[in-house]
Amino acid sequence: MPQPARVSALMAVRDGSSGIDAALASVLAWGDHLLEAVVVDDGSRDDTPARLAAWQAKDPRVRVLGRPARGLVPALNEGLEACRGCWVARMDADDLASPHRLTIQAPLLEADPSLVLVDGQVRFFRDHGEVPEGMRLHQDWINAVIEPEDFDRAFSV
């Protein structure tokens, strides 16, 4: 009997053909044989369903749930119910994950059962043009939240 998934990478996508291949490739590069990628296709009208079917056919770690378009939050909730991993790594269909994300974050969770969340640093980018100032400010804010007291300070308003 196969071992249960250690980490479920959860994505929801609608009309994401421009980024879904790179996003899935970056997740699967984590290389952990106890990883699954759960992708909820939220009613895509482009070639996203065909791309996802190709990924699912070539890698058994990829599971695709197709559904009519109902929005991001319902899609993520449906995907979360389907996740079999001990932990969930949230991704967007236009995200690129560091190949070291899982090797850094999973041991932290394993070492301290009181942890319920680990986060990481981000870098916003665009294929063409500069990242807008609002996104740069958000990136700076996210990357300043590192220690538990940073979370407390960031979320006490």
**What is the b/e burial string over 121-130, where b = at least 16 CB atoms within 10 angstroms of the residue's CB?**
eeeeeeeeee
Query: What is the pTM for the complete model shown?
Result: 0.82
Residues 129 and 8: their CA atoms lie apart, in Å, by: 33
Domains of the chain and CATH, by start = 7-97 (3.90.550.10)
Per residue in 12-42, pLDDT tens?
Answer: 999 999 999 999 999 999 877 678 999 999 9
Q: State which residues of the chain have pLDDT below 50.
A: none
The owner of tokens 């996203």 is 48
